Amino acid sequence: MASTLLQKVWDAHTVRRLPNGQAQLFIGLHLIHEVTSPQAFDMLRARGWSVAFPSRTIATVDHIVPTLDQRRPFVDLLAEEMLSSLERNCREHQIRLLDLASGHQGIVHVIGPELGLTQPGMTIACGDSHTSTHGAFGAIAFGIGTSQVRDVLASQCLAMDPLKVRRISLKGRLQPGVYAKDVILHIIRRLGVKGGAGFAYEYAGDTFDRMSMDERMTVCNMSIEGGARVGYVNPDETTFSYMRGRPFVPQGEEFERACDWWSSMASDPGAAYDDEVTLDAASIRPTVTWGINPGQSIAIDERIPSAADDEALAFMDFRSGQPLKGTRIDVAFVGSCTNSRLSDLREAARILRGHHVAPHVKALVVPGSQAVRAAAEREGLDRVFTEAGFEWRGAGCSMCLAMNPDRLEGRQICASSSNRNFKGRQGSPTGRTLLMSPAMVAAAAVAGEVVDVREFAAAGAGVGR
């Protein structure tokens, strides 16, 4: 019978049906970091349990690492304690830790794919809601809480409710200046921030077929902002050619056989879906959020809707009917697990060449991993950024969630390539976030205000695609 990828992966990993109706699901890859794991290790210790499959858990440090001065001990003693705790736990349980000295450190959702740890057909869990990113490879990947981190450590399993599947088909070509970020912001706007509850999103159609892995990761990353804990793209030649040669990927003949297995996990033609939505790619325009959740967005040439939520308007100090174009910004941030990969930096740099950041704007670019940073430096992107007035930082989560020194102050407005515009998200309880693509962030940094990257491009800089 024709099945979806979700069903195949689910079946291949189901140990049994639990008495409460949930599935006991084997977890193929468990990623951990310093924020949501220390309490889980304490729970293990308190119950006298050990780690069942230490080689199936990989750790890195991303949320709390400073991106300027990474010397140990960190200036922030709380951050130092968290990293020390992770180091101790990994040592005690023989878990591989990709730390600052490894050359492989970075945001957990950037390093998994780039090392080839993330593979099609896997189940992947991590104590971080943006684990949906890994679905770009045709894995079933989802965020979990700390008690579940404990469960995976102790048993390599999770008790999971079954998910329905909604296929979101996107057809047609994206316009110049429109990026994967605009696609997912558009989808969330259309389907709502809780529209995905109970569903896994399968992203399908020729637009996704043409997307690079980096672009697919950007889309899958923000599935959770649409309420879908899981988002995935079926594995194809683009997936396989990305994976070939990466450290944790099988080599040679084994690779060919692995491709066969990976292909076999893709959704079959004729598979039944619980819901289907079709969208037109050509109609998507550069999209920017105006409110306090990622569904509150407009296309750059639209105005804030008349029925806009009062709480959001009051917090943002915006009015219905107002355009976002022309909104003065204080900070520009290129980074986060959504948009900190090499192609994101390339697009931002393409906009910045020959320009300079407006004098009143603080601008920073934070590569998603040490490997991304090194690759960008080999291409000279670091010089493009610094010559344009951007600060070139070390890898980490940085200003996406402000558990480190990078944060907004007071009522600052930030043009941000990150994923959440929640109240207080970027570190100042009253700070304001406008989510947009890295190219739009770069253009806003130069103009000192929100602009339409398509017009900015017409004025001189080149726009990709």
CB 359 within 8 A of CB 447: no
Determine what percent of the chain falls in helix, strand and coil, rounding each to the nearest 5. 35, 20, 45
Taking CB under 8 A as the criterion, the residue among 57, 119, 238, 369 binding another protein is 119
Residue 75 in the binding site for another protein (CB under 8 A): no
We find the least distance from the C-beta atom of residue 24 to another protein, in angstroms, to be 6
CA–CA separation, 350 and 439 (whole Å): 8
We find the least distance from the C-beta atom of residue 411 to another protein, in angstroms, to be 12
Residue number, 339 or 343, with CB nearest to another protein: 339
Question: How many residues bind another protein, per CB under 8 A?
Answer: 79
DSSP 197-228: TTEEEEEESHHHHHS-HHHHHHHHHGGGGGT-
| Residue partners of 139: CB distance under 8 A and separation at least 6 | 9, 28, 29, 118, 119, 120, 121, 122, 123, 124, 232
Residue 432 in the binding site for another protein (CB under 8 A): no
Q: Which of residues 194-233 bind another protein (CB under 8 A)?
A: 194, 197-198, 224-225, 227, 229
Q: Which of residues 17-36 bind another protein (CB under 8 A)?
A: 18-22, 24, 26, 28, 35-36
Q: Which of residues 285-344 bind another protein (CB under 8 A)?
A: 293, 311
CA–CA separation, 83 and 77 (whole Å): 10
Residue number, 417 or 433, with CB nearest to another protein: 433
Taking CB under 8 A as the criterion, the residue among 2, 73, 101, 147 binding another protein is 147
Residue 8 in the binding site for another protein (CB under 8 A): no
Residue 45 in the binding site for another protein (CB under 8 A): no
Taking CB under 8 A as the criterion, the residue among 5, 8, 38, 165 binding another protein is 38
We find the least distance from the C-beta atom of residue 346 to another protein, in angstroms, to be 29
Taking CB under 8 A as the criterion, the residue among 176, 430, 458, 462 binding another protein is 430
Q: Which of residues 261-280 bind another protein (CB under 8 A)?
A: 261
Strand residue runs (E) in 149-296:
157-160, 164-171, 199-204, 230-232, 275-280, 287-289
Residue number, 42 or 391, with CB nearest to another protein: 42
Residue 15 in the binding site for another protein (CB under 8 A): yes
CB 331 within 8 A of CB 413: yes
Binding mask of the shown chain, residues 341 to 380, with x at each position contacting another protein by CB under 8 A: ----------------------------------------
For residue 269, whether the previous peptide bond is cis, meaning omega lies within 30 degrees of 0, is no
Pairing of the two strands 287-289 and 297-299: antiparallel
We find the least distance from the C-beta atom of residue 319 to another protein, in angstroms, to be 19
Q: Which amino acid is at 336?
A: S
Residue 71 in the binding site for another protein (CB under 8 A): no
In this structure, the number of other CB atoms found within 10 A of the CB of residue 251 comes to 11
We find the least distance from the C-beta atom of residue 126 to another protein, in angstroms, to be 9
Binding mask of the shown chain, residues 77 to 116, with x at each position contacting another protein by CB under 8 A: -xx-xx--x-------------------------------
We find the least distance from the C-beta atom of residue 221 to another protein, in angstroms, to be 13
Residue number, 163 or 384, with CB nearest to another protein: 163
| Residue partners of 166: CB distance under 8 A and separation at least 6 | 196, 199, 200, 201, 202, 228, 273, 274, 275, 276, 277
Structural tokens at position 135: 């679905």
Taking CB under 8 A as the criterion, the residue among 7, 148, 297, 327 binding another protein is 148
CA–CA separation, 438 and 178 (whole Å): 11
Residue 47 in the binding site for another protein (CB under 8 A): yes
CB 231 within 8 A of CB 219: yes
Structural tokens at position 11: 């079946």
3-state secondary structure of 135: helix
Residue number, 79 or 313, with CB nearest to another protein: 79
